[in-house]
Amino acid sequence: MSGEEEKILELEINDYKNQIDQINTVLNSNESEGIDRAEFTSLKNDLELLLKLSEETLLDFKKQKLLAELDSVELSVHKNDQDNLVEFLKI
């Protein structure tokens, strides 16, 4: 996943949250008598599932990114240790 895809996923997560808030507003309003509550509740449940899956995907991506950065740092430190040992042995 690229940085651009990460941003898109974050925007989608915000959209899902906003849509859930809008559905909650409709369900809790005084004018909710004429609506199909089952349909709105089903839609809300679907959005909550999408939100959960999207957040998990984003979290997994961020974990992978951090692990890759950690590996890079460890490799860099290991390389520096090897260079220092070589210099030390030359003395």
Query: Average pLDDT, whole number, for the chain?
Result: 86
Query: Average pLDDT for residues 53-67, to the nearest whole number?
Result: 93
User: Model confidence over 62-89: pLDDT tens digits?
Assistant: 999 888 888 877 666 666 666 666 666 6
Q: How far apart are CA 49 and CA 53, in angstroms?
A: 6
In a domain? residue 69: no
Q: Which residue has the tokens 């961020």?
A: 62
Residue 76 belongs to some domain of the structure: no
23 pLDDT tier (thresholds 50, 70, 90): very high
Could you tell me the two tokens for 87?
A: 């210099």
Residue 13 resides in a domain: yes
Owning domain of residue 51? 3-64
Identify whether 36 is part of a domain: yes
**How many distinct structural domains can be found in the chain?**
1
Residue 86 in domain: no
Residue 6 scores a pLDDT above 80: yes
Helices and strands (H, E) in the chain, number of each type: 2, 0
pTM of the predicted model as reported, rounded to 2 decimal places: 0.71
